[in-house]
Amino acid sequence: QKEVEQNSGPLSVPEGAIASLNCTYSDRGSQSFFWYRQYSGKSPELIMFIYSNGDKEDGRFTAQLNKASQYVSLLIRDSQPSDSATYLCAVNVGAAGNKLTFGGGTRVLVKP
Amino acid sequence: GAGVSQSPSNKVTEKGKDVELRCDPISGHTALYWYRQSLGQGLEFLIYFQGNSAPDKSGLPSDRFSAERTGGSVSTLTIQRTQQEDSAVYLCASSFGGETQYFGPGTRLLVL
């Protein structure tokens, strides 16, 4: 079992709709969670981080964390074609140095 | 301010040659990370620096890989006797004390 799992997609959503991305992790000691967006041929760009159970909103993005169920999700409201990218879930399991363990990413395609 | 920079942006080398990849972190960031992203493997941790020391080298795939950091700033990742399986995008990230890591543009390495 991979430490951080994501559905590879592609997740196809119409413009203006909500895109819902899920990520599960195996280590119950995981302390913090990150969502990165990666356009094709580019490096990962931080979108959000979340440490506590519940929801965290930033503009059109909402991160949701449920430590009991070991999942973290990302909602993208009013999806735009420019949101088409691969979204990477990353987990800090609390190891020294805060190294991140990444999921394989979910490819999102927003259709006009 | 300036972000993380990496050089070269692209590197083509012949099998068996040595290569050096450079990372210049965000000014003032004390922690520096190297990751590798290859097709089918996702994004994997290689090594972490705090200042000039490397407390976690657990992700280095073999003894052909080494890295150093000088002056608490620039880091160099060296791959000796390159193999075709070393072909990947090598990403550097930095953070200031905390956990949020910011990535550079990466170096795309192709070993022929």
SS (H, E, C) B50-84: ECCEEEECCCCCCCCEEEEECCCCCEEEEECCCCH
pLDDT at A29: 85
First and final C-alpha spacing in chain A: 36
Residue A96 has pLDDT above 90, yes or no: no
Stretch A58-64: mean pLDDT, rounded?
Answer: 97
- Look at chain B and count its residues: 112
Chain A contact set for B26 (CB, 8 A): none
pLDDT at A25: 95
Distance from the Cα of B12 to chain A's closest Cα (Å) equals 17
Give the model's confidence band at A93: pLDDT under 50 very low, under 70 low, under 90 confident, else very high.
confident
Check pLDDT > 90 for residue B97: no
Question: Is the pLDDT at A107 greater than 80, yes or no?
Answer: yes
Paired strand residues for B34: B47, B92
Strand partners, A104: none
Three-state SS letters, A25-90: ECCCCCCEEEEEEECCCCCCEEEEEECCCEEEEECCEEEEEECCCCEEEEEECCCCHHHCEEEEEE
The yes-or-no verdict on residue B1 having pLDDT over 70 is: no
Tokens of A80: 């735009």
Q: Which residues fall within 8 angstroms of residue A7, CB to CB, at 6 or more apart?
A: A21, A22, A106
Confidence of residue B96 (pLDDT cuts 50, 70, 90): confident
Query: Which range is least confidently modeled, B31-45, B65-79, B83-97?
Result: B31-45
Residues of B in contact with A42 (CB under 8 A): 105
Average pLDDT of chain B is 93
Residue that the structure tokens 């990370």 belong to: B33
> Residue A75 pLDDT more than 60?
yes
Cβ within 8 Å, pair B106-A99: no
Compute the average pLDDT of residues A32-55.
Answer: 94
Nearest CA in chain A to B91: A43
Calculate mean pLDDT across residues B24-46. Answer: 91
pLDDT interval class at B98 (50, 70, 90):
low
Give, for B19, the enclosing helix (H) or strand (E).
strand B19-24
